[in-house]
Chains A and B, each alone.
Chain A
């Protein structure tokens, strides 16, 4: 069975410092992995996706994630946080056409 674990429920950073949001997955097959972002009172928006091509995936707004099969991880990073990055971030795994969401990581960005 597929599952995803987001290791931190909250992450706080200062504006201009790096962001690291951690995600580990469990999957029997070759999964597709995604990161979605949800801003307050909004729906979810796709940030980036991994679908067995390049292991380093670049997304929107300067985010990227690296697929590491040996570590079963798909951590999300950004070199320099911006105030507008404050939101909830969801790591998602999919083996077929059903997407399973993690519990989310709330990112706070302080000036």
Chain B
């Protein structure tokens, strides 16, 4: 079965360290989303790409977060420097079509910043 793959599944790091999360979208999908899930805020859209071009990253703190798609098979979300408030589950999702009528989600990266 085609699936979205996220690595790592779990990451524990210390405050101030750089964190890189990776996502392999489903082959042929042309949109990629990054969401952050916390108990307090629920699911927040951080950024999304269409055909590798960033369309909206207004949900992302620009001073420390960056999202890129170096090629069609890889999306990255980087936090530098990380802070304890960044602790959350980060989900990547990929989709196809103008209105993304079906998104496929990865299993998430559980990030803990101590």
Contacts and interface: CB of A to CB of B under 8 A. Distances in A.
A97 B42 contact: no
B102 A101 contact: no
- The binding surface of chain A is classed by DSSP as strand
Interface in A80-111: 90, 94, 96-104
Interface string B30-46: 01010100000011010
A78 interface: no
Interface string A41-76: 011111001010000000000000000000000000
Interface residues of B, number: 24
A32 interface: yes
B108 A49 contact: no
Nearest to A90: B43
B99 A51 contact: yes
B103 A98 contact: no
Interface of B: 4, 31, 33, 35, 42-43, 45, 48, 50, 55-56, 91, 93, 95, 98-103, 105-108
Given A44-B91, A99-B103, A101-B43, 11 more contacts: A43-B4, A43-B91, A46-B102, A46-B103, A49-B101, A51-B99, A97-B55, A98-B48, A101-B35, A101-B45, A102-B42
Q: List 10 A-B pairs, minimum CB-CB distance, nearest first.
A: A43-B105, A101-B43, A44-B105, A103-B42, A43-B107, A97-B100, A32-B99, A46-B102, A43-B106, A97-B99
